[in-house]
Chains A and B, each alone.
Chain A
Amino acid sequence: MADVTDALRSYWLIVVMWMRSTMTYRASFLMTTLGNFAGTALDFVAIVLMFTRVDSLGGFSFAEVAFLYGTTSTSFGIADLLMGSMDRLGQRVRDGTLDTLLVRPAPVLAQVAADKFALRRLGRVTQGALVLGWAIARLDIAWTPANLLLVPVMLISGAGIFGSVFVIGGAFQFLSNDASEVQNSFTYGGNTLLQFPPTVFAKDLVRGVTFVVPLAFVNWLPALRILGRDDPLGLPAWVDFAPPLVAGACLALSGLAWRAGLRSYRSTGS
């Protein structure tokens, strides 16, 4: 436990340092935050434009798609804010600056995750949360205690699942430091996938993101329950409440992957 507290403290110290550094260029910070907000909003604008031409997509109404969009974007936004710097690891392995991190008396994972912490990524979280709020206000959801509880549980578990993808992606860069873009397929790609209803996609793809890379637990399964819809794979009802377990398992797995990656690290020697 002391280890975890120590890691979080290191993480926080580095984050504060980067926030102060960011605030030196205030105009640029405002523009990048706005850009981050607008960038994720553009995704949504594309969906809005789609719905100017159709009434439903895969049998889902605009508000329902907005709900899916809001949930995954908020989860992904939180993970991206906290862990999004992981994709710079390959760069550090390549130019040898990772060695500097290894000799510092702070956990390497905390240092890498907080490296160049980008406060501008709040833009994405805000935008996702706004769309989610709008969708919830617009939809006629049966607010049973279970559904009410499921919304925050889903958002946090989703962030955990995406966070573990970031860490595994980081660990993978120890093996192949040029391949950081592969991780985008699962992070940004996963986020794009989950913005649309599962009925849009081929069954095998839905099976893949349920059983292999468990992104379906970020929002699809719990969100379909909240929306009162059946999931296309016909899984038992309790699965909808599994996201915290899945997130826990993913995070544990990513911790192991990270350790294995770090152990295999050989410095460039330069």
Chain B
Amino acid sequence: MSRYGGLHAGPHAGLYGAVAASGFRRYSTYRVATAAGVFTNTVFGFILAYTYIALWDQRPHLGGYDQSMALTYVWIGQALLATMAMMGGGFQDELIERIRTGDIAIDLYRPADLQLWWLSADLGRAAFHLLGRGILPTLCGALLFDLALPANPLTWLAFLLSVVLGVVVSFALRYLVVLSAFWLLDGAGVTTVAGLAMLFFSGTLLPLNVFPGTLGDIARLLPWSALLQVPADILLGVHTGPLGLARAYGLQLAWAVTLLCAGRALQAVATRKVVVQGG
């Protein structure tokens, strides 16, 4: 770590704001890719919705959801897929490449905090993906199926806060994965395995409350549940009232802080041992 290492949030708050804004702008320029993504999310939402209808036809109150709640879950899942970078597509490839080529040495000499820099950029990206790739699939779903979307704007606000916390947890997880490239150089293997864990334990393939017994109990406590299950349950009114919300946010916040600190510790170890590749 450079002599500038450490937290610079105070004097540099403006800098990180600018990084976030540029993250947002950067992704907003890929208009055709965004449209393609919306199309794909909608197609997958469509397919999943029918399988969930078949499932909830058989077991009407599976996992405590009724059918329209289950369908809402499907479409919220598609809306958050890009936001939470569930299928990759965040900063990971870029940073891994910088570690592999040795460009990371330049980043470490910059008078900005490495983790905060990438977190800001990722928050900007997520904000764009939420707007650009979240709204249209949800509208499509709401037009084609009977969804249980809340009418109360406060519920939406509570959902939004939970999404922000979810993005931070998602970032912290991916940041840990990226740092493994300091040791492995080719990060593709770890990225793949971590991506799978994310897809499965976030509840994207199947809501975590449908998971049987102990597996479900454990899955609901793992960090990945902060990405989709917790925000969706807030939107669906499963977590309500000050106590219910506090418990939901508490889980997200606890994982966010734990994982960000773990990332910081690992980064310190990595940069102490770093031998820059090439000359």
Contact with A along B181-217 (1 / 0, CB 8 A): 0001110111011011001100001100011100000
Within 8 A of B (CB), among A163-215: 176, 178-182, 184-185, 189, 192-193, 196, 200-202, 205
Q: Bin chain B's interface residue count.
A: 35 or more
Task: Compute how far the CA of A39 lies from the CA of B188 in the bound complex, rounded to whole angstroms.
Answer: 14
Report yes or no: A49 in contact with B51, Cβ–Cβ below 8 A.
no
Q: How far is the CB of B251 from chain A (nearest CB, A)?
A: 22
- Given A53-B59, A57-B51, is A179 in contact with B32 using a C-beta cutoff of 8 Å? yes
By DSSP majority rule, is chain A's interface helix, strand, loop, or mixed?
A: helix
The answer to whether A32 and B189 touch (CB under 8 A), given A200-B50, A202-B50, is: yes
Give A54 to B205 CA distance when docked, in angstroms. 17
Q: Check A6 for interface membership: any CB of B closer than 8 A.
A: no
* Tally of contact residues, A, Cβ under 8 A: 41
* Candidates B36, B55, B186, B205; contact of A42 at CB < 8 Å: B205
User: Complex Cα distance A8/B47, Å?
Assistant: 36
Whether A35 pairs with B212 at a CB distance below 8 angstroms is no
Q: Which residues of A contact B46 (CB under 8 A)?
A: 205
Q: Counting CB contacts under 8 A, is B101 at the interface?
A: no
**Residues of A115-142 contacting chain B, CB below 8 A:** none
Complex Cα distance A52/B50, Å? 19
Tell me if B276 is interfacial: C-beta within 8 Å of chain A: no
Question: Distance (Å) between the CB of B151 and the closest chain A CB?
Answer: 28
- Tell me the residues in window 7-52 of chain B with beta carbons closer than 8 Å to chain A beta carbons: 30-33, 35-37, 39-40, 43-44, 46-48, 50-51
Contacts A31-B192, A57-B55, A189-B44 given; does A49 touch B206 at CB 8 Å: yes
Given A53-B55, A200-B54, residue A35 in contact with residue B193 (CB < 8 A): yes
Given that A54-B59, A58-B54, A181-B40 are known contacts, is A28 also in contact with B32, CB under 8 Å in the complex? no
**Would B184 and A192 count as touching, CB distance under 8 A?**
no
A28-B188, A38-B193, A39-B192 known; A185 and B39 CB under 8 Å? yes
The reply to whether A38 and B196 contact each other, CB–CB distance below 8 Å, is yes
Residues of B within 8 A of A252 (CB): none
- Would A196 and B196 count as touching, CB distance under 8 A? no
Please tell me which one of the listed residues B39, B185, B192 contacts residue A35 in the complex, with CB atoms under 8 A apart: B192
A181 pairs with B192, CB closer than 8 A: no
A66 to chain B, nearest CB (A): 15
Q: Decide: B40 and A31 in contact? CB cutoff 8 A.
A: no
A207 and B270 alpha carbons, distance in the complex (Å): 55
B211 near A176: Cβ-Cβ < 8 Å: no
- With A50-B206, A54-B55, A189-B47 already in contact, the answer to whether A179 and B188 are too (CB < 8 A) is no
Contact check, A31 vs B206: say whether CB atoms are below 8 A apart: no
Give the complex CA separation of A34 and B189 in angstroms. Answer: 9
Within 8 Å by CB of B33, from A35, A45, A181, lies: A181
Q: Does B43 lie within 8 Å of A180, measured CB to CB?
A: no
> Is residue A30 contacting chain B, with contact meaning CB distance below 8 A?
yes
Q: In the bound complex, what is the Cα–Cα distance between A261 and B199 (angstroms)?
A: 35
Taking CB atoms, residues of chain B closer than 8 Å to A35 are: 189, 192-193, 195-196
Q: Which residues from chain A contact B40 at a C-beta distance below 8 Å?
A: 181-182, 184-185, 189
Closest to B53 in A: A200
Q: Mark A23-57, 1 if CB is under 8 A from B, else 0.
A: 00101111110111011001101100110111111
Q: Would you mind naming 9 contact pairs between A and B with Cβ atoms under 8 Å apart? A: A29-B189, A32-B188, A39-B196, A49-B206, A50-B206, A53-B210, A176-B32, A193-B47, A200-B50
User: A: which residues have CB within 8 A of B?
Assistant: 25, 27-32, 34-36, 38-39, 42-43, 45-46, 49-50, 52-58, 176, 178-182, 184-185, 189, 192-193, 196, 200-202, 205
Please list the 8 inter-chain residue pairs (A to B) with the smallest Cβ-Cβ separation, ordered nearest first.
A31-B189, A35-B192, A178-B32, A46-B205, A185-B43, A181-B36, A179-B36, A54-B58
